[in-house]
Amino acid sequence: MNPLADPVANQLVLRARVQELAAIRYTPAGLPALDLMLTHESQVEEAGARRKVALDIKAVAVGEIVKRVQALGLMEEAVFTGFLSAQRQGRGTVFHITGLVH
């Protein structure tokens, strides 16, 4: 399927390390939620040249995935899957984690 033809295409796969983990909180619907900060470093090819990429991204896990994310230790690496959204006040981006491979 052509991702450009899919109007709901918003998927992210990111290998990253857990930099910070907050305490579990609960949404108004009663679901567990876990805020965290992820750190990613890699080298990619862009315009025929190698480029080093390093970034930190705010992330949140909601629901059943919370236990799996919380079980990761600080600085532990995993492959996270999910989608991107704006923060509540529209300042910045949040990675919503829906899956992980450890």
Please report the pLDDT score of residue 3 as a whole number. 61
Between CA 11 and CA 83 the distance in angstroms is 5
Please report the pLDDT score of residue 69 as a whole number. 96
- H or E element: which one contains 65? helix 65-70
Buried b (16+ CB within 10 A) or exposed e, 44-65: eeeeeeeeeeeeebebbbbeeb
Query: 49 lies in which domain range?
Result: 3-101
Q: For residue 38, what is the domain's CATH number?
A: 2.40.50.140
Is-contact 18 70, C-beta < 8 A? no
For the chain, 102 residues long, the average pLDDT of each consecutive 10-residue run is 71 96 96 97 95 96 96 95 88 94 86
Q: Is the pTM of this model over 0.75?
A: yes
Task: Report the number of distinct structural domains present in the chain.
Answer: 1
